[in-house]
Structure 1
Amino acid sequence: MFTETSLVIITGRKESAQLRKQLSVFLNAFNQEFAFNYQPEFRVQPISKPGIRISAVSLGEIPYIITDSGGKYRAGSSPDNDTRVISIDKEKVVLLYKNEYYTIILTDDKK
């Protein structure tokens, strides 16, 4: 993606020094050939998101979530191999999915 001054490179994870160097060399050649002055801008966008779907939250003595498949999971448990429930409170659920944190903001359907 181009902006007026940047070539935006979107990756699934933080760019490596080698990738940054290779793209900088390419962009410098492009700038010289076409008389532009684009600068690289790197953005990280996760390739995938957690597949868990929360259908209910219980905020009892030990809070837990209920998934659409009927599973019950409290903080510290893992609904699948890639996901761990980090915390549950009345406003949000925090998940760790493939070493990335995701926050699910809860809403009250009864309002």
Structure 2
Amino acid sequence: MIHFIVSILLQAIVVLFVFPWIHSDFRVKGDATNAIWIVIGFIVLNWIVRWLFVISTLGLGWLLYYLSLGLLGLLANAIVLILLSRMFPNLLGVPSFSAAFWGGLCLSLASLLMRR
């Protein structure tokens, strides 16, 4: 459980400090608690989108994911960040798809770092 909490905190730090480096308009509006809520929403929505992708491809989603060398996962992360910014415009501002793509990559790297 502590590992999960530390992972959320690390991803919140990425949201707070790395996202503005990607693009000046790509930021969380408010304080650190909003960043934690964004990360929790990202985890939940990412899980839902990935399972919908697997179900809609009749189980071939995992094969497509590995054949694309993870690019489909990064695209899913970008779509989730854009969805979060549309669902909660007062919490997160995402200026473009490319910024969302790089932000999703940074969140994936932070998550990968915590798995090791």
TM range (shorter): under 0.3
Decide which structure has greater helix share: 2
Please tell me whether Structure 1 or Structure 2 has the larger radius of gyration of its CA atoms: 1
* TM-score after normalising by structure 1: 0.23
Taking CA–CA contacts closer than 8 Å with sequence separation of 6 or more, which of the two structures ends up with the larger relative contact order?
Answer: 2
